[in-house]
């Protein structure tokens, strides 16, 4: 059996991730630098600043990961990088670095789909899910339900027609005066909220189908805030109650759609990945729904819910093993890249 040590590079947005994956021994080392503190001053990601920071941090992180694994660049058998979707400038930093290293080392290199990385991140765990399964990919840029029969064998079941769930969390946080990124901060504030005081709509759950929509929920949140402010200054309890109602609405919507997807496909395994998959209330509700259906939910470990190099190294290793390659020196960032255009590795 061919064994490969693959370096994974992730630079799609505001986190620089690097990891080393061995197809025999698993994940050897990983490192991540988050730009959250820098972008928080602007209330969201500034693409130009993100690209510059990836340029500064990427190669030092590569050296850090190799040192942790007690290896050198010459010990690498292949390099994988995020080719898209993401911010064009940030993607180009990772692509150019990966191709430069591959050219210097005379090693194969491959661009990987960012969401395929999230989709397969639970494969890095001690008890990975077996195929087939339903996957909920829920992050700042994507909310999708996918039926997964194997690597590269994906059928899109439903997706957001407007804002992704993570994007909706960020916008709600901004309305409530919370810092970026919004998801964890809204969730923390919601812990103090009264679940019975307000009830927000569960968008697109009153009709058949597996698509999502969160823009109306965002508008409802703003309308509620203005109604409170019309009566006087917004106090801490009101802010917490709004945060709780918002979080409950997003979680309920995601859970209802996951329940429908499991029932529609008849599958008993649910993978939940992406930044919003770290939400505690979401996990509790999905565990409850899966238990009622004799199903099981799978998640990546906490640090692999958000963007990371490990998921890119894993996917890259599977596809490099199958013989997939970029042409030497030929690469392009793909800010928009539909996942249903992916194909299975030949050996899958």
- Mean pLDDT computed over 66-81: 98
- Averaged pLDDT of the chain: 95
Q: Greater confidence, 181 or 95?
A: 95
pLDDT band at residue 44 using 50, 70 and 90 as cut-offs: confident
Instruction: Give the Å distances, CA to CA, from 165 to 142, 187, 251.
Output: 7, 13, 9
Query: What pLDDT score does 1 carry?
Result: 63
Greatest pairwise CA separation for the chain in angstroms: 70
Instruction: Give the Å distances, CA to CA, from 345 to 4, 132, 151, 233.
Output: 16, 16, 7, 58
Say if residue 12 carries a ligand binding annotation: no
Query: What pLDDT score does 328 carry?
Result: 87
3-state SS, residue 16: strand
Q: Is 80 exceeded by the pLDDT of residue 346?
A: no
Say if residue 209 carries a ligand binding annotation: no
Say if residue 89 carries a ligand binding annotation: no
> Same fold for the domain at 5-121+304-341 and the one at 131-299?
yes
pLDDT band at residue 25 using 50, 70 and 90 as cut-offs: very high
Q: Kindly report which listed range (1-5, 178-182, 207-211) carries the lowest average pLDDT score.
A: 1-5
Contacts of 253 (CB under 8 A, 6+ apart): 202, 203, 204, 205, 212, 214, 217
Q: Greater confidence, 141 or 96?
A: 96
User: For 257-275, how does the pLDDT look when each residue is reduced to its tens digit (9 = 90+)?
Assistant: 999 999 999 999 999 999 9
Fold entry, domain 5-121+304-341: Nucleotidyltransferase; domain 5 (3.30.420)
Q: Please state the φ and ψ torsions of residue 276, each to the nearest 5 degrees.
A: -70, -15
Structure token pair of residue 192:
């103090």
Instruction: Kindly give the pairing relationship between strand 269-273 and strand 153-159.
Output: unpaired
Domain ranges of the chain: 5-121+304-341, 131-299
Say if residue 170 carries a ligand binding annotation: yes
pLDDT band at residue 11 using 50, 70 and 90 as cut-offs: very high
User: For 228-254, how does the pLDDT look when each residue is reduced to its tens digit (9 = 90+)?
Assistant: 999 988 999 999 999 999 999 999 999
Query: What pLDDT score does 318 carry?
Result: 97
What percent of the chain has pLDDT above 70?
A: 99
Query: What pLDDT score does 169 carry?
Result: 95
Distance of CA 7 to the CA centre of its chain: 19
Cβ contact 233:278 at 8 Å: no
Say if residue 279 carries a ligand binding annotation: yes
Query: What pLDDT score does 149 carry?
Result: 96
pLDDT band at residue 347 using 50, 70 and 90 as cut-offs: low
Say if residue 109 carries a ligand binding annotation: no
Query: What pLDDT score does 214 carry?
Result: 95
Q: 277-283 long-range contacts, Cβ below 8 Å, gap at least 24?
A: 277/136, 277/138, 277/305, 278/183, 278/184, 278/302, 278/305, 278/306, 279/183, 279/187, 279/247, 279/251, 280/187, 281/187, 281/190, 281/247, 281/248, 281/251, 282/251, 282/254, 282/255
Q: Please state the φ and ψ torsions of residue 201, each to the nearest 5 degrees.
A: -65, 150
Q: Look up the pTM and report it.
A: 0.94
Query: What pLDDT score does 348 carry?
Result: 46
Say if residue 126 carries a ligand binding annotation: no
User: For 322-332, how does the pLDDT look when each residue is reduced to its tens digit (9 = 90+)?
Assistant: 999 999 888 88
Contacts of 34 (CB under 8 A, 6+ apart): 14, 15
Residue 228 exposed, middle or buried by CB count within 10 Å (0-12, 13-18, 19+): middle
- Mean pLDDT computed over 67-81: 98
Cβ contact 4:320 at 8 Å: yes
Dihedral angle sign, alpha carbons of residues 169, 275, 201, 189: negative
Say if residue 263 carries a ligand binding annotation: no
User: For 128-182, how does the pLDDT look when each residue is reduced to its tens digit (9 = 90+)?
Assistant: 999 999 999 998 888 999 999 999 999 999 999 999 999 999 999 999 999 988 9
Say if residue 220 carries a ligand binding annotation: no
Candidates 25, 28, 103; CA nearest to 68 is: 28
Which CATH architecture group holds 131-299?
Answer: 2-Layer Sandwich (3.30)
Neighbour count for residue 263 (Cβ, 10 Å): 10
Query: What pLDDT score does 141 carry?
Result: 84
CA angle 240, 244, 248 (to 5 degrees): 175
Say if residue 8 carries a ligand binding annotation: no
Say if residue 140 carries a ligand binding annotation: yes
């Amino acid at each position: 059996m061919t064994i490969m040590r693959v370096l994974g590079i992730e630079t799609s947005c505001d986190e620089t991730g690097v990891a080393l994956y061995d197809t025999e021994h698993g994940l050897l080392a990983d490192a991540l630098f988050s730009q959250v503190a820098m972008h928080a001053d602007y209330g969201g990601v500034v693409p130009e600043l993100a690209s510059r920071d990836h340029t500064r941090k990427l190669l030092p992180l590569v050296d850090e990961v190799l040192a942790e694994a007690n290896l050198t660049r010459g010990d690498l058998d292949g390099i994988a990088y995020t080719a898209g979707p993401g911010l064009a400038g940030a993607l180009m930093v990772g692509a150019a670095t990966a191709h430069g290293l591959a050219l210097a080392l005379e090693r194969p290199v491959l661009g990987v789909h960012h969401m395929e990385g999230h989709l397969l991140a639970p494969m890095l765990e001690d008890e990975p899910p077996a195929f087939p399964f339903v996957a909920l990919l829920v992050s700042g840029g994507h909310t999708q339900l996918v039926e997964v029969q194997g690597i590269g064998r994906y059928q899109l079941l439903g997706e957001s027609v407007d804002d992704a769930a993570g994007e909706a969390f960020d916008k709600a946080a901004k309305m409530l005066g919370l810092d970026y990124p919004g998801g964890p901060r809204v969730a923390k504030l919601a812990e103090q909220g009264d679940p019975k005081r307000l009830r927000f709509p569960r968008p697109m759950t009153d009709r058949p189908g597996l698509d999502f929509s969160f823009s109306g929920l965002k508008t409802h949140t703003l309308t509620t805030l203005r109604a409170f402010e019309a009566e006087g200054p917004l106090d801490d309890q009101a802010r917490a109650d709004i945060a709780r109602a918002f979080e409950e609405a997003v979680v309920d919507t995601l859970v209802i759609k996951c329940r429908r997807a499991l029932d529609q496909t008849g599958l008993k395994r649910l993978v939940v990945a992406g930044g919003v998959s770290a939400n505690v209330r979401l996990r509790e509700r999905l565990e409850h729904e899966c238990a009622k259906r004799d199903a099981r939910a799978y998640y990546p470990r906490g640090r692999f819910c958000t963007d990371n190099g490990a998921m890119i190294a894993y996917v890259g290793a599977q596809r490099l093993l199958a013989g997939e390659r970029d042409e030497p020196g030929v690469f392009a960032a793909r800010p928009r890249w539909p996942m249903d255009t992916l194909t299975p590795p030949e050996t899958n």
